[in-house]
Homo-oligomer: A and B are copies of this chain.
Amino acid sequence: MSITIIPVRGLPIIHPGDDLAALIAKAAAFEDRDVLCVASTVYSKAKGYIRPLAEVKPGDRARRIALRDREDPRFVQAVLDETKEVILEHPFILSVMESGHIGVRAGVDRSNIEGDQVILLPPDPMAAAKDLHDAIMNRTGKKVGIIITDTCGLSFRRGQTGVAIGWYGMPAIRDYRGDKDLFGHVLLITEEAVVDEIAGFSNYVMGESNKGVPAVIFRNMDCWSGHDNLFFRPEEDVIVAALKKCRD
């Protein structure tokens, strides 16, 4: 069976206080077991997870980093405020966030918002996904999987892709442990990050600039069993361990 992917078009520009789920439900028709990807930026704008830079007071560290990297020190402070642990300071801040997500500049975004403000990631992206899941269910009666996406660079490759930072109604990872291949060998590659694969393609459909498509529906999906341990425990992450060893 083929999979159909439907961009949600015609949403207005989102402002704090808007009912995002109601706007999406009005713009699109859902079926049970669809997967809905929503850009974290529009969720954050609707919920008011934004900061005017005029209200940010940069500290010493932010001023030092800003000087070195020619950034606005208020922007750097906003990034540090969203960062649980700094893995790299230079040439960009690489942040571990409270949610477990690791990303450049803590996902703080200066694009697609009016004036001198920044958009923050939702502080609890898993709760954000559940919130949207329940609101879509209430509005439409349909039970859909939700993925909250962010745009991130990949290691070793130029260019951003979409990744999942929160999800609900579906697992993050398809787990093949114990499965056998076409010839009966037990599989060596055993866990697949399906939420990232779906989030990545939703980012392709959304585009980055000015297409105004902040939500994408995936239909005829088969991603309903697996587990949710998407983020490494610190001792499991070889790359982070190496980066910290260099930093310290």
When the two chains form their complex, are residues B197 and A161 in contact, meaning their CB atoms are under 8 A apart? yes
Give the interface size class of chain A: 35 or more
- Any B CB within 8 A of the CB of A56: no
Complexed CA–CA distance, A162 and B174 (Å): 13
- Any B CB within 8 A of the CB of A140: no
Complexed CA–CA distance, A4 and B218 (Å): 10
Complexed CA–CA distance, A18 and B51 (Å): 59
For A156, list chain B residues within 8 Å (CB): 102, 231-232, 237, 239-240
Complexed CA–CA distance, A91 and B201 (Å): 31
When the two chains form their complex, are residues B7 and A5 in contact, meaning their CB atoms are under 8 A apart? no
When the two chains form their complex, are residues A4 and B2 in contact, meaning their CB atoms are under 8 A apart? yes
When the two chains form their complex, are residues B112 and A196 in contact, meaning their CB atoms are under 8 A apart? no
Q: How many copies does the complex hold?
A: 2
For A187, list chain B residues within 8 Å (CB): 111, 208-209
- Any B CB within 8 A of the CB of A137: no
Return the chain B residue nearest A159 by Cβ: B193
Complexed CA–CA distance, A196 and B155 (Å): 12
Known: A113-B183, A183-B113, A208-B187. A231 touches B157 (CB 8 A): yes
A201 contacts which of B102, B112, B201 (Cβ < 8 Å)? B201
For A114, list chain B residues within 8 Å (CB): 183
For A54, list chain B residues within 8 Å (CB): none
A179 contacts which of B4, B113, B158, B210 (Cβ < 8 Å)? B210
Complexed CA–CA distance, A6 and B4 (Å): 9
Interface residues of A in 162-196 (CB under 8 A from B): 162-163, 172-174, 176, 179-183, 185, 187-194, 196
Known A-B contacts: A110-B188, A111-B189, A192-B207. Give 20 more (CB < 8 A): A2-B5, A5-B5, A13-B182, A102-B155, A111-B188, A114-B183, A151-B192, A154-B155, A154-B163, A156-B239, A157-B232, A158-B229, A158-B230, A159-B196, A161-B193, A174-B207, A174-B208, A180-B210, A192-B204, A246-B246
